[in-house]
Structure 1
Amino acid sequence: MRVTVFGATGAIGRLVVQRLLDDGHEVTALVRTPAKLALAHPRLTVRTGQLSDRAAVEQAVGGADAVISALGPSLKRSTKGSQLADGTRTLVQVMEAREVTRFIGLATPSLADPRDRPHWKHKVLPVLAGLMFPHALVELKGMTEAVTGSGLDYTIARITNPTNKAATGRVRSGFLGHDEVGSAMSRADIAAFLVSQLTDARYRRAMPAISN
C-alpha cells in the first residue's frame, strides 16, 4: 500500500514510518527538516515542505492509498496561531480533491466520540487541558473537526499518556464508558495500532480510545 505520513519526525511519527516499511508499504513523508527523520530506505520518499504549503501537500498525497497523521499541537503555552488546524483543513481538501479517502490520525479523550458514554475523562481531561495547554486544546479541536466534518473515511485514535516503554503488543481499544481502556500506552504500540488501521475496518469514521 502507498501511505503518506505527516508528522514523521515526531516521536510517534518515526515509529509509524519504520513500522510501515517493516510491513512492506511504500511510504512518502512530508517533513520540514528531512535530517530529523534520520531514515533511509528504498521504499521511503522524503519530501520537504509543511502543511501551509498546499502544493507540497498535493505532491505528497498524490497517488497515495491512505494518509497517516502523527501530528499533534505544541504543548508550549507561548505558541500562537492555528497552523495545525489550518494545515489539517488544507490536507483534508487535498485528500478529497485527489480522492484519497482513508485518513488515520491522533487525538485525546478530551474530545468525545458519539459512541462514548458518560465518563470521568470527559469531565477531567478537558478542564486540565484547558488550564495547562489551552492553545493545544483549541488546535486539537480544530484539527479533529476538520477531519470528522469531512467525507473522509477516518479513524482517529485517542491517546492519553504515551510512554517510551518497549512495545508490548497488547492493545485495549474502544469507547469510553463501554470498554475497559486505560491511559498509558507505549509509542511503539500506538504506531502499530495506527498502521493496523490500514486494513482493520472496526473503527471506520470513529475515534476509539486506546491504551496498553
Structure 2
Amino acid sequence: MNVTVFGATGGVGSLVVGQLRTRGHMVTAYVRNPDKVPAGWGDAVNVVVGELSDAAAIDHAVQGADAVISALGPSLDRKATGLPLIKGTRNILTAMQHHGVRRYVGNATPSILDPREKPTWQTRLPTFMAKTFLRRAHDELVAMSQIVMTSGLDWTIVRFLAPKNGPARGQLRHGFYGHDKLGFNVTRADIAAFTAAQVDDNRYIGAAPGISN
C-alpha cells in the first residue's frame, strides 16, 4: 500500500515510518522541518515538506495514497498558542476526500472516549489532569479527534496513556476502557507497530481502541 504519514519525524511518527517500510508499504512522509528527516530514509521514503496550514502541499502528499496515518499530537509546551492541529486535520481530511482516500489512522489519549466505553479512572484521571494543567492541548486533541470521528471516513484512533521510550515488547493489550483489561504504560515502539498495522486491518474501523503493554 501507499501510506502518507503526518508527524513523520516525531517520537512515534518516525517509528511508524519504519514499521510501514518493514511491512513492505511505500511511504510518503509529510514533514515540517526537513532537517529532522532521518538520514536512513534515503530515497526509500518520499518526503513532502510543508506546514499543516498549507492545504496545497497536504493535498499533494495525499494524492495517490491508499491510507493516511496521523501521528500528530498537540504541543505540551504551556507557552504554545493557537490550535494548529485542528486546521491541519481539516486540511488532511479534505485532501483525503478530494482523492478518494478512505482509511485514516490517528493517535490520541483516553480523553477521547469510544462510544462503546464506560468512563473509568483511566479515562477520568487523564481528562481531569489535561483540563487542569494542559487545557489548550486537551482542547486541541479533543477537537481534532471529533473532526475525524464525524468525517464519514474509515477511521481508527489508537489511544494510550503513558508512552515510554525503549524497545518494543511485542505484547499488547487492546480494547475498550470499562470492558477490557488495559494497563497504563506502553512503549512508543509498540504504539508505532500497532498504529502501522491498522492500515490493512479492518477490526477497529470506526473505533478508538486503547492499548497498553
Q: TM-score range by the shorter chain?
A: over 0.9
Give the corresponding residue for 2:149: 148
Give the corresponding residue for 2:198: 197
Q: 1:128 corresponds to which letter in structure 2?
A: M
Superimposed CA distance per residue, residues 98-120 of structure 1 (whole angstroms, 9 cap, x where no aligned partner): 11010000010011111112311
Shift of 1:13: 0.5
Rounded to whole Å, the distance in 1 between the matches of 2:181 and 2:62 is 36
CA contact (8 A) 2:111 2:142 kept: no
Give the corresponding residue for 1:163: 164
SS of aligned partner of 2:47: strand
Shift of 1:182: 0.8
SS of aligned partner of 1:11: coil
1:29 aligns with 2:29: yes
CA contact (8 A) 1:103 1:152 kept: yes
CA contact (8 A) 1:110 1:121 kept: no
CA contact (8 A) 1:25 1:43 kept: no
Give the corresponding residue for 2:107: 106
1:54 aligns with 2:60: no
Rounded to whole Å, the distance in 1 between the matches of 2:29 and 2:17 is 8
Give the corresponding residue for 1:63: 64
- Give RMSD over aligned pairs: 1.0
CA contact (8 A) 1:77 1:134 kept: no
Rounded to whole Å, the distance in 2 between the matches of 1:178 and 1:126 is 19
Give the corresponding residue for 2:13: 13
Shift of 1:121: 2.3
Rounded to whole Å, the distance in 2 between the matches of 1:87 and 1:159 is 22
1:81 aligns with 2:82: yes
> Where do 1:128-139 residues align within 5 Å?
128-139=129-140
Listed as ranges, the gaps of 5+ residues in structure 1 are none
Shift of 1:17: 0.5
Scaled by the length of structure 2, what TM-score is found?
Answer: 0.97
Q: 2:118 corresponds to which letter in structure 1?
A: R
Single out whichever of 39-48 and 69-78 deviates more from structure 2. 39-48
CA contact (8 A) 2:102 2:153 kept: yes
Shift of 1:42: 3.7
Number of equivalenced pairs? 212
Rounded to whole Å, the distance in 1 between the matches of 2:115 and 2:41 is 41
Shift of 1:155: 0.5
Shift of 1:34: 1.7
Give the corresponding residue for 2:123: 122
Superimposed CA distance per residue, residues 132-153 of structure 1 (whole angstroms, 9 cap, x where no aligned partner): 2111001101110110010110
Single out whichever of 122-131 and 46-55 deviates more from structure 2. 122-131
Shift of 1:25: 0.8
Superimposed CA distance per residue, residues 161-181 of structure 1 (whole angstroms, 9 cap, x where no aligned partner): 000021011011000100001
Shift of 1:184: 0.5
Which runs of at least 4 in structure 1 moved beyond 3 Å after TM superposition? none
SS of aligned partner of 2:199: coil
Rounded to whole Å, the distance in 1 between the matches of 2:168 and 2:41 is 23
Rounded to whole Å, the distance in 2 between the matches of 1:41 and 1:172 is 34
Listed as ranges, the gaps of 5+ residues in structure 2 are none
Q: 1:193 corresponds to which letter in structure 2?
A: F
